Amino acid sequence: MNPDETLTLALSKGRIFDETLPLLRAAGIEVLEDPQTSRRLILPTNRPGVRVVLVRATDVPTYVEHGGADLGVCGKDTLIEHAAAWGGAHVGLLEPLDLGIARCRMSVAVPADFDYARAVRQGARLRVATKYVAIAREFFASKGVHVDLIKLYGSMELAPLTGLADAIVDLVSTGNTLKANRLVEVERIMDISSRLVVRPTALKVKGGLIRPLLQAFAAAVRADAD
Binding site for ligand PRP (CB under 6 A): 154, 170-177
Q: Please name every residue paired with 151 in a beta bridge, in sequence order, or none if there are none.
A: 130
The nearest distance, CB 58 to ligand PRP, in angstroms, is 10
Residue 82 or 206 with smaller CB distance to ligand PRP: 82
The nearest distance, CB 15 to ligand PRP, in angstroms, is 8
Residue 97 or 106 with smaller CB distance to ligand PRP: 106
Residue 173 or 201 with smaller CB distance to ligand PRP: 173
Residue 173 or 215 with smaller CB distance to ligand PRP: 173
The nearest distance, CB 107 to ligand PRP, in angstroms, is 9
The nearest distance, CB 41 to ligand PRP, in angstroms, is 19
The nearest distance, CB 118 to ligand PRP, in angstroms, is 25
Q: What is the DSSP string of the chain?
A: --GGG-EEEEE-TTHHHHHHHHHHHHTT--B-S-TTT---SEEEBSSTTEEEEE--GGGHHHHHHTTS-SEEEEEHHHHHHHHHHTTTTT---EEEEE---S-EEEEEEEETT--HHHHHHTTPPEEEEES-HHHHHHHHHHHT--EEEEE-SS-TTHHHHTTS-SEEEEEESSSHHHHHTTEEEEEEEEEE-EEEEE-HHHHHHSHHHHHHHHHHHHHHHHHHH-
Residue 44 or 175 with smaller CB distance to ligand PRP: 175
The number of residues making up the chain comes to 226
The nearest distance, CB 215 to ligand PRP, in angstroms, is 30
Sheet of strand 126-130: strand arrangement: 147-151, 126-130, 167-172, 104-111, 183-192
Residue 82 or 199 with smaller CB distance to ligand PRP: 82
